[in-house]
Amino acid sequence: MALTPSQEIDKFIKELTDWRGKWVAQFRTLILKTAPEVTEDWKWGVPVWVCNGNVVASGVFKDHVKLNFFKGASLPDPKKLFNAGLEAKETRAIDIAENDKIDEVALKELVRAAVEFNMARKKK
């Protein structure tokens, strides 16, 4: 029997037994609390959070976790959280290494902005 997207994400986090799993779990909680209208999806083997289109995905690599904002180039980033994929046409990413500290307030603002950007596209 196929797993639901949320069950896939649960499994993904559980199988990441180091700091990366904890980080993805924390981000998942942050995004679901910040933007309760977002739904979880499972695409390309990674967690994706969706609201009127893809909002953000979380990938894991050996030495970092990546938060990829699908419309990041269109979002305000006053705290300069985006540190990867800066040359991409539409996306922007945040790469987080094990001991990095991230500004949670700024990250919540970025999540809200991404959801609001997607919702504004629906109204056109």
- Condensed to tens digits (0 to 9), the pLDDT of residues 62-89 reads 999 999 999 999 999 999 999 999 999 9
Name which residue leads in pLDDT, 121 or 83: 83
SS3 label, residue 81:
coil
Beta carbons within 8 Å of 109's beta carbon, 6+ residues apart = 79
- Whether the predicted pLDDT of 54 surpasses 70: yes
- Whether the predicted pLDDT of 107 surpasses 80: yes
Domains present along the chain, CATH in parentheses: 5-123 (3.90.1150.200)
φ, ψ for residue 86, nearest 5 deg:
-70, -15
pTM of the entire predicted model: 0.94
Q: What residues pair up with 59 in beta bridges, in sequence order?
A: 66
